[in-house]
Amino acid sequence: MTSLDDLPIRDDLRGLSPYGAPHLHLPVELNVNENTHPIPEDVARDIIEAIARELLTVNRYPDREFTALRDSLAGYLGEGLSRENIWAANGSNEVLQQIMQAFGGPGRSVLGFPPTYSMHSIIAASTGTAWIAGQRDADYLISPATAVEWIERTKPDIVFFCAPNNPTGTGLGLDTIVAAYDAFDGVVVVDEAYAEFMPSGRPSALTLLEGRPRLIVSRTMSKAFAFAGARLGYLAADPAVTDALRLVRLPYHLSALTQAAAVAALAHAPEMLAMVDDIKAQRDRIVTVLTELGYTPWPSEANFVLFGGVDDPEWLWQQLLDRGIIIRNLGIPGHLRVSAGTAAETTAFLDAMRELTVDRMAS
């Protein structure tokens, strides 16, 4: 049988591994930071009706400029943004890929700060952009001085920040973003996939866009809007950025059905976001209980918790799996990550952790 090594793929892709989060169907799935709350029935009904209307003209190509969707996203974000500031694609991964295609590529580089979202380096590789791994400060933080130091040392074309950071849940100060922007002439991308889960009153990088045409803030509807299966990511930036992305996007890249579903969901934004407070409560509950059990969870501003103090991550991961609960083993020594689920899902995870911890201590 032919293997990948037998094919004439690009040399810079040889030896790489694709994104590999386990995709198992179990009673409690808390491994990929999904919003495990179902979409409210009345919202789902409106989305279905919107899709049904689009089906009547699905023989025609969709609005290539997805105008209604960009208007809806601008209205949701506020901050004085208009459709000219907004871009969208099939998930934030495609948004980030298009950024790399426009501003990265062969002979260019992107600076990131691991541990961070693994797709950042994967997308870099897929676009022929050199990935530079910077180092974080203690407690997974990034100070302005650290960001500037790495920019001056490596001279990247693009800097990626993840705020809150995945997989650590760590926040990022706006002063770090400003310092990085002022330190070079390249593009600064702030991945705010989990922005809705930040502490109340915490300002978003969206507040920094005015007067900074090289700053890009990416978002997603996958998390807070429980829209992971719909695949809708977007960004806010200077209108010149969206012009640049038009040069690399494929024609009609957002289907009419995706556009209709997203617009309908955004029309119910308050109702869709009502579940966020419950998710944050479950996240904080996880931190409290794991601390009581002797683990060391990191403070999180996202919808998940990274926790240390795990003697054997592979053993604990497998024991939870055997009980119908899947969380994430990211390969960080002594650590595992768990998404905040519904109250019932969180209870199932915490009860299993209590049982396993007691058994482990007794053995």
Of the candidates 231, 237, 233, which has an alpha carbon nearest to the alpha carbon of residue 206?
Answer: 237
pLDDT in tens, 129-188: 999 999 999 999 999 999 999 999 999 999 999 999 999 999 999 999 999 999 999 999
Residue 36's pLDDT band (cuts 50, 70, 90) = very high
Q: Please report the domains of the chain, with CATH numbers, ordered by start residue.
A: 4-38+270-362 (3.90.1150.10), 41-268 (3.40.640.10)
**Per-residue burial over 148-183, b = 16 or more CB atoms within 10 Å of its CB, e = otherwise:** bebbeebebbbbbbbbbbbbbbbbbbbebbbbbbeb
279 pLDDT higher than 80? yes
pLDDT in tens, 116-134: 999 999 999 999 999 999 9
Percent of all residues in the chain with a pLDDT value above 90, rounded to a whole number? 91
Which residues lie below 8 Å from residue 194, measured CB to CB, with a gap of 6+? 33, 164, 166, 169, 223, 301, 302, 303
Residue 312's pLDDT band (cuts 50, 70, 90) = very high
pLDDT in tens, 220-265: 999 999 999 999 999 999 999 999 999 999 999 999 999 999 999 9
Separation CA 174–CA 134 (nearest Å): 18
- According to the model, what pLDDT value does residue 21 have? 67
List residues bridging with 237 in a β-sheet.
216
- According to the model, what pLDDT value does residue 352 have? 98
pTM, two decimals, is 0.94
Percent of all residues in the chain with a pLDDT value above 70, rounded to a whole number? 98
The total number of residues shown for the chain amounts to: 363
pLDDT in tens, 327-339: 999 999 999 999 9
